[in-house]
């Protein structure tokens, strides 16, 4: 399918990972092995599935990996809602994270549409 580094969705997924690191570190210690670990895994999953899917020679396999990335983005939305509900981060920190996640989700949705239409 091509070089995954050229995918804007992958680039935004990497940006979300980078933005998440300091936020994850600020979670309470008792969340380190639950919420923090799940957040990290879900964020990595988006970028890694986009990269793995792009490496596939079959469009169907690529679409399956992009769909998995979409699921991880939905999981991240839920994680950010939990973080907000538990008041772990400031509104401004959450706003930046939500914006990055939403941008990536829009790009992934567009990629899925393109893969279905072709």
> pLDDT tens digits for 6-30?
999 999 999 999 999 999 999 999 9
The enclosing domain of 62 has a CATH number of 1.20.1440.60
Count the neighbouring beta carbons within 10 Å of the beta carbon of residue 38.
16
pLDDT in tens, 25-56: 999 999 988 999 999 999 999 999 999 999 98
Count of structural domains within the chain: 1
117 confidence band (pLDDT: 50, 70, 90): confident
Strands (E), the chain: none
**Distance, CA of 6 to CA of 2 (rounded, Å):** 8
Indicate the pTM of the whole model.
0.94
Q: Give the pLDDT band of residue 116 (cuts 50, 70, 90).
A: confident
In the structure encoding, which two tokens stand for residue 20, read together?
């998440």
The residues near 54 (Cβ < 8 Å, ≥ 6 apart) are 1, 2, 3, 4, 7, 10, 62, 65
Q: Are 55 and 1 in contact (CB under 8 A)?
A: yes
> What's residue 118's pLDDT?
63
Enclosing domain of residue 64: 4-117
């Amino acid at each position: 399918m091509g070089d995954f580094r050229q995918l804007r969705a992958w680039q935004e997924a990497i940006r979300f990972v980078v933005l998440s690191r300091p936020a994850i570190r600020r979670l309470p210690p008792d969340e380190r092995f639950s919420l923090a670990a799940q957040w990290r895994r879900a964020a990595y999953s988006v970028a890694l599935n986009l990269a793995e899917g792009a490496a596939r020679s079959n469009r169907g396999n690529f679409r399956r990996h992009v769909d998995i990335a979409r699921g991880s983005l939905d999981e991240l939305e839920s994680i950010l809602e939990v973080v907000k509900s538990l008041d772990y981060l400031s509104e401004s920190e959450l706003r930046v994270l939500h914006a990055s996640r939403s941008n990536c989700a829009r790009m992934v949705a567009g990629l899925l549409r393109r893969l279905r239409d072709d």
